Amino acid sequence: MCGIVGYVGKQQAYPILIKGLHRLEYRGYDSAGLALINANDELNVYKTKGKVVNLEHFVEGKDSTGCIGIAHTRWATHGEPSQINAHPHYSKTKNIALIHNGIIENYADLKKKLQAKGIEFVSDTDTEVLVHLIEYIYQRDKSNMVTAVQVALNQVIGAYAIAIIDRNNPETLIVARKSSPLVIGIGDGEFFLASDASPIVEYTKQMIFLDNDEIAVINLKSGVKVKKLNNVEVTPEIKEVMLDVGQLEKGGYPHFMLKEIFEQPECLINCMKGRVNVDLNDVKLAAIIDNKQTLLNANRIVILACGTSWHSGLIGKYLIETFCKIPVDVEYASEFRYRNSVISPNDVVIAISQSGETADTLAAIELAREKGAFVYGICNAVGSSIPRVTHTGSYIHVGPEIGVASTKAFTGQVTVLTMFALALAKAKNIIEHDKFLEMIKELSLIPDKIREVLKHNDKIADLAKIFTYARNFIYLGRGYCFPVALEGALKLKEISYIHAEGYPAAEMKHGPIALIDEEMPVVFIATQNSLYEKVVSNMQEVKARKGRIIAIVNKGDHKLQELADYCIEVPATVDSLEPLITSIPMQLLAYHIAVCKGKNVDQPRNLAKSVTVE
């Protein structure tokens, strides 16, 4: 949930660290800090509450020189967002500075022991325990710093990615990870460090993705040496990461979220490239071809995910049950991992995650693997943790998603799940040929249909102005569009802070109908699918109670134009592909309402892009 950046080389570290922090601000943005060792071997730590830009102002006029440094952007877990609690944290002698992403679960116990030895703490963080523990062991054992880090980390329970600099060793970064990501970039006589590849990619494409329980010593002269916490040396694999810096910029849009909404047609073309072949009437996913028998033998599929990815998982359930006739359960990863989940070796687990780093999803995968299940990952972030701990999987290939509210990753996940369902149904030989052809044709038309929806952007922006007053919203849909209602409500609440609920439209009469009055905006996904008439009846019920209806309708639906207060038209498609179209106006409505309310849509309060804590 926090972002880590580091540099050692011949260049001044400060501008590289600041630029890196800006790229990682999506991970956390309540405070920021950095540590630099200057040419006189002085270790300077600067930190502030708030965003990276505050840190830049704070450092103005101060000594920001040095060719080695570490930097951090925080998402608070232990201790409120404040200058004191911001990272880096100094050791007692102020010789060492440390940054951390993760949670030290046994920090209270370790803190008590260190306090008993006379060590004073200045912050409320769990992280400060680490830096004091490392220095304490270093002094007690008169060992070297790397050994001290190893001994300290062996006493720690929890998750961490850490980076340390020591003014007595000003050409070396020491880093380690367990459950939180860390990437090392290898340049020409210089080395970079970050929580993901985005701060590194403009300097080098050669990267090492550190594994769990690994510690790396990055020295300007001797390069990168990696070992396990138990001291066994490891030969690190250097990967070439192809990421375009342009994809990390806003490209003329006022926010990443809007850019990412508008990118969706291209993203879905990329996602389907080489997989959906309209000329050959085929859908291929390499992971299905390679693991065909295992997938065909599946008794049951269990989908594990969180947040928006859980919503796409719910659509996946409808798709897989419809086309493959395999029972599917969709579970919140956080619930699955702590209840007595029944999983057997004949179950296939699909783990869905944009970031590939979500702590609950990672833990749920580990549990499913322990119980013998075969695990298939659906991820966006290449080289992230989930693709490395699953048996197989498919990337969604929609490019980096920077806005905290997930948009293009959602439609990318639904597209992969659609391809998965179709390819598996074909492998099982249970889908009618004509239906299969219709699906491929319709799937290939989706990017153009999304382009048509995007043309309503201005109209939706006008509509948003009308609803900025609202304190609550209800989203209703049925069938494949029920998860879209859930996703629409989540988008609105996370960026506009308006309370919103998504329901299956027919459930409304079992309780939520009591909320309807002339103040209540109700968004209906009311496209002309097999449940259309039923949704229209639900709409009548809302109308009768004077609710203010915003309806997502198919082009030319005059009946609903009369019934609803406001309509947004979308092109028609088959029922099972409607989420790919109807989710777009949901995203735009949430975006424009949040903009009208003056909210920070890319970095909403209390949230972070990568939820690496449970």
Which positions lie near ligand M6R, rule CB under 6 A? Answer: 306-309, 353-355, 358, 361, 404-406, 494, 607, 611
Comparing CB distances to ligand M6R, the nearer of 404 and 550 is: 404
Rounded to the nearest whole angstrom, what is the least distance from the CB of residue 244 to ligand M6R in the complex?
21
Burial status of residue 142 (CB atoms within 10 A of its CB: 0-12, 13-18, 19 or more): exposed
Comparing CB distances to ligand M6R, the nearer of 490 and 531 is: 490
CB of 502 within 8 A of CB of 470? no
Identify each DSSP E strand in 81-167 by its residue range.
89-90, 96-104, 158-166
Comparing CB distances to ligand M6R, the nearer of 62 and 605 is: 605
CB of 175 within 8 A of CB of 246? no
Rounded to the nearest whole angstrom, what is the least distance from the CB of residue 594 to ligand M6R in the complex?
12
Q: Identify which of 402, 465, 378 has the alpha carbon closest to the alpha carbon of residue 22.
A: 402
Helices 408-428 and 433-454 pack at an angle, to 10 degrees, of 170
Rounded to the nearest whole angstrom, what is the least distance from the CB of residue 197 to ligand M6R in the complex?
15
Rounded to the nearest whole angstrom, what is the least distance from the CB of residue 417 to ligand M6R in the complex?
13
The SS3 of residue 422 is helix
The SS3 of residue 318 is helix
Burial status of residue 120 (CB atoms within 10 A of its CB: 0-12, 13-18, 19 or more): exposed
Comparing CB distances to ligand M6R, the nearer of 135 and 494 is: 494
Rounded to the nearest whole angstrom, what is the least distance from the CB of residue 130 to ligand M6R in the complex?
26
Measure the CA–CA gap between 407 and 488, rounded to whole angstroms: 10
Q: Which of 2, 267, 306, 324 is catalytic?
A: 2
Q: Identify which of 343, 334, 384 has the alpha carbon closest to the alpha carbon of residue 363.
A: 334
Rounded to the nearest whole angstrom, what is the least distance from the CB of residue 527 to ligand M6R in the complex?
23
Measure the CA–CA gap between 306 and 335, rounded to whole angstroms: 10
- Specify whether 426 is catalytic: no
Helices (H), 337-456: 359-370, 385-389, 408-428, 433-454
Residue 8 CA to chain centroid, in angstroms? 28
Instruction: Look at strands 374-379 and 158-166 and give their pairing.
Output: unpaired
CB of 477 within 8 A of CB of 524? yes
Both tokens of residue 254?
């006022």
Measure the CA–CA gap between 438 and 368, rounded to whole angstroms: 35
Comparing CB distances to ligand M6R, the nearer of 86 and 586 is: 586
Q: Which of 178, 449, 599, 609 is catalytic?
A: 609
Chain position whose Cβ is nearest to ligand M6R: 307
Rounded to the nearest whole angstrom, what is the least distance from the CB of residue 394 to ligand M6R in the complex?
14
Comparing CB distances to ligand M6R, the nearer of 243 and 536 is: 243
Comparing CB distances to ligand M6R, the nearer of 308 and 576 is: 308
CB of 131 within 8 A of CB of 90? yes
Comparing CB distances to ligand M6R, the nearer of 287 and 611 is: 611
List % helix, strand, coil for the chain (3-state, nearest 5): 40, 25, 35
CB of 587 within 8 A of CB of 490? no
Rounded to the nearest whole angstrom, what is the least distance from the CB of residue 589 to ligand M6R in the complex?
14
CA distances from 502 to 252, 408, 472, 482 (A): 33, 20, 11, 8
Residue with tokens 């609550």: 472
Rounded to the nearest whole angstrom, what is the least distance from the CB of residue 361 to ligand M6R in the complex?
5
The SS3 of residue 5 is strand
Comparing CB distances to ligand M6R, the nearer of 541 and 614 is: 614
Rounded to the nearest whole angstrom, what is the least distance from the CB of residue 561 to ligand M6R in the complex?
31
Residue with tokens 């029944």: 342
Rounded to the nearest whole angstrom, what is the least distance from the CB of residue 568 to ligand M6R in the complex?
21
Residue with tokens 């998860």: 483
Comparing CB distances to ligand M6R, the nearer of 261 and 405 is: 405
Q: Report which secondary-structure segment, H or E, holds 272.
A: helix 264-272
Helices (H), 49-182: 52-59, 107-116, 127-141, 145-153
Residue 42 CA to chain centroid, in angstroms? 37
Both tokens of residue 116?
């008993």
- DSSP assignment string, 387-414: HHHSSEEEE-------SSS-SHHHHHHH
Largest Cα–Cα distance of the chain, in whole Å?
A: 81
Side chain identity at 559, as an amino acid letter? K
Comparing CB distances to ligand M6R, the nearer of 304 and 423 is: 304
- Specify whether 2 is catalytic: yes
Active site residues: 2, 609
